Amino acid sequence: MTKNILVTGGAGYIGSHTVVELIQHGFNPIVLDNFSNSRPSVIDSLEEITQQKIISVTGDCRDAAVYDLIFSKYKIDAVIHFAADKAVGESVQNPLKYFDNNLNGLMVLLAAMERHDVKHLVFSSSCTVYGNPDNVYVDENSPLKSPESPYGFTKLVGEQMLDNMVRHGKKMRVVLLRYFNPIGAHPSALIGERPQGIPNNLLPYITQTALGIRAELSVFGNDYDTIDGTCVRDYIHVCDVADAHVSALTLLSASPDSCIEAINIGTGKGTSVLEIIRIFERETGVSLNWKFAPRREGDVPEIYAKADKALHTLNWKATYSVSDAVKHAWEWEKKTQN
Ligand code: NAD
Ligand code: WQD
């Protein structure tokens, strides 16, 4: 029987790619999004890619009535909870916005799941919960650090709330996926990352600079104790991230009644900012205008995932290279700005 999966934030960057994977694996996704950081036209693009009608509900994750409507209409087997605000800088300016959307939103969802007896949840977490790690190659047992931003705090507290519920006997099956640095776009170039205003993240800043939308890329810091002085991250193709959610649903189906697992979603390899620039120039043939700039406050010098647990528990590993991801991000950017 086809499983119905509620995908909150399913029109967003990672959510939309996950909807494609879900359909390709025979699931029936039901998207819930308020389009605060995405456009309704994403749903049309999803229909074009999958050649299938997408069930989409416009609504807010903090609205209990929306869940009652969805859970009563469809027999939901599991929820993938992407919906959240994610701009680190904005969260410093306006922490309450983040506590409300990311934490209150999670609580309203959990209460609705309890009312409607839905027990399987995949929660979008982040490598931000490791803060600035003592060992840069982090596994899931690495200590969780005090987050650098209110955004990071909401991910840590979200994880802890879920852990607390399960530890105190709530019959829920939860997978916490800790994404590292998702980049790239769908190979069709029909969906991808679409930041509002000036991008904070490296890849959209690079592609917008290459197109002339931004004058110059600032490389934040060149004196870190890393391979070339610039920060190192574990960049992972968004389609690989999306695929991990399908594997997480399979794991939930085979898990004990009450369980919670945190799993890193990364490639296990680190790439520096200068290496990303070189890969971009090589893959696209476009020469990038960039300069060194002072360090960005709160940046972790180096972090990447130990991804063995994902392989063992999810039978998942990254299949795309960073070069593929950079190429796909470029194809998407060119198409979107046309
Ligand atoms: P995104 O902003 O592209 O997608 C989030 C979607 O949720 C958007 O479509 C937005 O409109 C929707 N949304 C937000 N608040 C909502 C609400 N109250 N009700 C309904 N819909 C709402 O972000 P993304 O990059 O796809 O991230 C998805 C999840 O993954 C987030 O929880 C984010 O914190 C987490 N995450 C992202 C990254 C990353 O680098 N992109 C890394 C680690 C974790
Ligand atoms: C990557 C590297 C920058 C822009 C953020 C969130 C984190 C997680 C992933 C959600 C860093 C450098 C960037 C620029 C640059 N999201 N950079 N010039 O900081 O690893 O993580 O996204 O959970 O919580 O903080 O990603 O893409 O912003 O930066 O030199 O214009 O690129 O200094 O070294 P980051 P990023």
pLDDT for position 338:
65
* Rounded percentage of the chain residues whose pLDDT exceeds 70: 99
* Rounded percentage of the chain residues whose pLDDT exceeds 90: 96
User: What is the whole-number distance in angstroms between the Cα of residue 104 and the centre of ligand 2?
Assistant: 26
Mutate to test the pocket of ligand 1, among 42, 86, 239 (most ligand atoms within 8 A of CB): 86
292-320 mean pLDDT: 97
Pocket of ligand 2 (CB under 6 A): 86, 88, 126, 128, 152, 181, 200-202, 205, 217-220, 231, 233, 273, 296, 299
Tell me which ligand sits closest to the C-alpha of residue 193.
Answer: 1
Q: Which amino acid is at 134?
A: D
Over residues 35-44, the pLDDT tens digits come to: 999 999 999 9
How distant, in Å, are the alpha carbons of 120, 163, 177, 181, 198 from that of 159?
15, 6, 10, 19, 29
Residue nearest to atom 8 of ligand 1 (CA): 12
- Is 90 exceeded by the pLDDT of residue 337? no
- Is 90 exceeded by the pLDDT of residue 48? yes
Tell me which ligand sits closest to the C-alpha of residue 122.
Answer: 1
Cα(209)–Cα(223) distance, integer angstroms: 23
pLDDT for position 132:
92
Cα(187)–Cα(176) distance, integer angstroms: 27
How do beta strands 232-233 and 271-272 pair? antiparallel
Pocket of ligand 1 (CB under 6 A): 8-9, 11-15, 33-38, 60-62, 82-84, 86, 101, 105, 124, 126, 179, 182
**Contact criterion met (CB below 8 Å) for 248 and 177:** yes
What's the N-to-C CA distance of the chain in angstroms?
Answer: 42
Residue with tokens 């490598």: 127
Active site residues: 151
Consecutive H or E run containing 262: strand 259-265
Cα(204)–Cα(232) distance, integer angstroms: 17
Supply 206's token pair.
């690079």
